[in-house]
């Protein structure tokens, strides 16, 4: 029975690896080789299907017409005047009524949300462009589809490991390792979206240094208390600020041009 379990575990692991590595494509925007199990059309469909439910879970969309118009206008500018326009995704920007949860997020295919709690804390249009550019970055980098494929691989391999060990402790170890791996994927995605967001907002005429202030606002909103980075899906703000400053210095070795919107 033990030998049979091991054989089955190896088959499951091999199938998981084959399924993952057999679905590679090159991202036309980032140039990155990715392993995905969704097409762009499927991403768009998934995002459109999920958007109403996500909005309902966070108090629905705001009735503040000025907030809606501002977010839509800035989001449209970030997309239209940057490389994001070449992605082909039908971006749409939503403002959630939630007055307490400081958050913004993107669904696959271009549905982007920001809460009133976060929007009300932003001080300038450039900061809003930084938030929305970051979320657009998630979409064009296809992070949701990439994450789903990685999660499927991780589940397959951890399941195979648990099956091969034939013990509850083995299954628990596999589960913890899998969870930590998925959290690190999340941190890597956030840092990549910061880099992309800087590029997009600068191409659209916004001062990329505004994103530094966004990180400070997010840190203040958290009250300074958070879980250790290795247990979190997001890097700590201090690390993100350090990377943002490095990216800006490399992109503008002669200094950020004057006249960009703050």
- Give the three-class secondary structure for 27: coil
Please write down the long-range contacts of 113-118, taking CB distance under 8 Å and 24 or more positions apart.
Answer: 113/54, 113/55, 113/58, 114/71, 115/58, 116/62, 116/64, 116/67, 117/221, 118/221
Contact of 127 with 135, CB cutoff 8 Å? no
Q: Are strands 111-115 and 92-96 parallel, antiparallel or unpaired?
A: parallel
The tokens describing 43, both together, are 């991403």
The tokens describing 137, both together, are 């970055």
Which residues are designated catalytic?
A: 135
DSSP 5-37: HHHHHHHHHHHHHHHHHTSEEE-TTT--EEE-S
CA distance 250 to 126: 20
CA distance 160 to 15: 10
Q: Which residues lie across from 112 on neighbouring strands? A: 93, 106
Q: Are strands 24-26 and 111-115 parallel, antiparallel or unpaired?
A: unpaired
Contact of 165 with 215, CB cutoff 8 Å? no
Total residues belonging to the chain: 262
């Amino acid at each position: 029975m033990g030998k049979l379990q091991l054989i089955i575990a190896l088959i499951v692991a091999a199938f998981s690896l084959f399924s993952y590595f057999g679905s590679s494509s090159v991202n036309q925007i980032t140039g990155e080789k990715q392993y995905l199990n969704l097409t762009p059309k499927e991403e768009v469909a998934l995002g459109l299907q999920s958007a109403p439910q996500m909005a309902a879970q966070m108090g629905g969309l705001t009735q503040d017409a000025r907030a809606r118009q501002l977010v839509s206008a800035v989001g449209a500018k970030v997309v239209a005047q940057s490389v994001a326009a070449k992605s082909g995704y039908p971006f749409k920007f939503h403002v959630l009524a939630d007055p307490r949860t400081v958050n913004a997020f993107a669904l696959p295919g271009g549905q982007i949300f920001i809460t009133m709690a976060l929007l009300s804390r932003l001080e300038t249009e450039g900061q809003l462009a930084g938030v929305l550019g970051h979320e657009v970055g998630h979409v064009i980098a296809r992070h949701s589809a990439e994450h789903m494929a990685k999660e499927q691989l991780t589940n397959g391999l951890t399941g195979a490991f648990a099956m091969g060990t034939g013990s509850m402790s083995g299954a628990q170890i596999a589960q913890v390792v899998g969870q930590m791996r998925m959290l690190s994927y999340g941190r890597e995605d956030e840092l990549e979206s910061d880099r992309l967001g800087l590029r997009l907002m600068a191409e659209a005429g916004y001062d990329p240094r505004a994103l530094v202030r966004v990180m400070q606002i997010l840190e203040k909103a958290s009250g300074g208390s958070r879980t250790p980075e290795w247990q979190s899906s997001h890097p700590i703000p201090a690390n993100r600020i350090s990377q943002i400053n490095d990216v800006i210095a490399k992109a503008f070795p002669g200094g950020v041009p004057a006249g960009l919107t703050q």
